[in-house]
Amino acid sequence: MERIIQQTDYDALSSKICALQFNYLPPNKGTLSESIDDTLQCLYSDIKSLHFEYYKTLKEKSRNVYGKINKLMRNPFPVMNYGTYLRTLAIDVSLIKYIENFPKDQPFQIVNLGSGSDLRFIQYLKMYGGRIKRFVDLDFKDAIILKQSILKDSTNLDQSIRSFEGKYVILQGDLKDVEGTLQQLKQYLDPKLPTVFITECVLCYMTENDSKQLISTIMDTFATGFWISYDPIGGADVNDKFGTIMKRNLMDSRNLEMPTLLIYNSKLNYPQRWENEKSQIDIKDMWNFLSEAISDTEKRRLRSLQFLDEIEELKIMQSHYVILNTAWD
């Protein structure tokens, strides 16, 4: 099952590279009518070079994985590029807003659970390195071994990591083993410091009990924190077949299960994993995010990149992906 779930990281990396190649990412200046726009521009200043370097080195390390990712990139559907653009931006907007609310001298920590090939750690340590005490990536053993190998064999990426002076930590672990996960995290993190936890398309592959135990244990362990979670939802309406079709397709094509897709199936139900009196929850779907947060100028730019005739398909798909933010102290 670990290997099957790891295949989803190949999907994510191929989608990220494709969105960069077609210029969906990085977003243009003025994308958001908010004070964080300049911060976003700085954060994304080298996003292309980072990912293209990682992708190039991947080819040298594992032609098998490279071939799988390259195959996935042969049909760059606009709806998929929109989805990658929105999930990337929504997570970073949430994270930056939380960070920018701190006093400038407040240290903090970031943990990317199920990080896969994600390279956010480089972007954030370059930008906030003076304030970040630790940035931890954690994933299955095989995913981490491959990522470590790529980072080490790329001169540019390795030099970036060395410049972070030990602030970046990469760990092997299985999130279903909550006790083992927490033991590892506590070796490197200070439970008294504000800590951000990111789960990007991770909780949807865990059982209801495993995901709730992980969340409650982390929230009990870390005194002050912020959780950013991005996942699909199955849809609560009796006529909504999105989740049923998605589950069937994943099972037929990959023998992959999403245990809670039809349980936490709406913006109302998804936050139930975080049932905790001390948490404050905000949730929106990606269609809301596109409609409300992205400027009209940026929407016109996106429309110019690829011909998109299925606006309704885009709306349906992005209405079934959500981002949740919850803070506790």
At 219 the three-state DSSP class reads: helix
Q: Is 92 annotated as a binding residue?
A: no
Q: Tokens 């970046």 — which residue?
A: 168
Q: Is 119 annotated as a binding residue?
A: no
d(CA 224, CA 297): 37
Q: Is 200 annotated as a binding residue?
A: yes
Of 36, 50, 190, which is closest to residue 99 (Cα–Cα)? 36
Q: Write the CA distances from 247 to 82, 106, 230, 296, integer angstroms.
A: 22, 43, 17, 34
User: Does residue 301 contact residue 243 with C-beta atoms inside 8 Å?
Assistant: no
Q: What is the DSSP string of 276-312?
A: -TTEEEEEEEHHHHHHHHS-HHHHHHHHHHS----HH
Q: Is 87 annotated as a binding residue?
A: yes
Q: Is 308 annotated as a binding residue?
A: no
Annotated binding site for S-adenosyl-L-methionine: 87, 114, 174-175, 200
Annotated binding site: 87, 114, 174-175, 200
